[in-house]
Amino acid sequence: MTMKYIVYILLIVLTMTLQVKAQRQLPGQKGISVSSGIFSIKEPRDNYYFQMSFTKNNKSGNYQIWSAEYQHRNIPYGEQKLPLEIYLGEGGYSFRFLGNYSKSLNFYLGLTAAAGYQHINKGNYILPDGAIILDKSGFIYGTGGRLSLESYITDKVMVLLQTKAYLFWGDSVNRLSPSVGMGLRLNL
């Protein structure tokens, strides 16, 4: 009888030490991610973004992405800094172009369309020195590209390292907007 318990204990210990990997990147699997990043290495406190995304996996590990993003920047003007805030929505597709066999480490290339609203200097277009800001707050639109490294830390949670850039039309302040960031994704 004691031998029977020893065998059971050994089986339990054996099953606890063996790691079972869940299937990853299943078609139709959805995920929610939160990420943050910077636009400038020199002044990261003043030039940052926050993003919330929703993803849906397709075949071959590719996925659709929809996101909402808040960007904050300070544009230098003489001795002062003019705040620029952008509220952005985007949708697109990310293609898996490199990854390991277990799909725990993947590189993605994404293309998106983006539209939003920019708010310049809190609506104050006349500066203290009498200069007038010619760009007005308003709607902007453009396209975006991203390169991301995504790694699973558990079967449901992954870490994202990404670099991305937006090219905006209807905006003469920041036509090209590159950034780097990181985030977490929870697959549902």
Give per-residue pLDDT as tens, 153-164.
887 888 888 999
The CATH architecture annotation of domain 26-187 reads Beta Barrel (2.40)
> Quick check: 69 pLDDT over 90?
yes
Confidence tier at 70 by pLDDT (50, 70, 90): very high
Query: Tokens 């709607």, residue?
Result: 139
169 and 141 Cβ atoms separated by less than 8 Å: yes
Indicate if the pLDDT at residue 72 is higher than 70: yes
Mean pLDDT score of the chain, rounded to an integer?
81
Name the residue with higher pLDDT: 15 or 70.
70
Contact 23, 156 (CB under 8 A): no
> pLDDT per residue over 165-182, tens digit each?
988 886 666 677 888 888
pLDDT, residue 66, reads 95
The residue ranges of every structural domain in the chain are 26-187
Is the CA virtual torsion 33, 111, 147, 114 positive or negative?
negative
pTM higher than the cut 0.85: no
Instruction: Count CB atoms within 10 A of the CB of residue 30.
Output: 13
pLDDT value of residue 11: 61
Least confident of 61-70, 142-151, 170-179: 170-179
Least confident among 15-19, 48-52, 130-134, 180-184: 15-19
pLDDT at residue 18 tops 60: no
The answer for residues whose C-beta is within 8 angstroms of residue 40's C-beta and 6 or more apart is 46, 47, 73
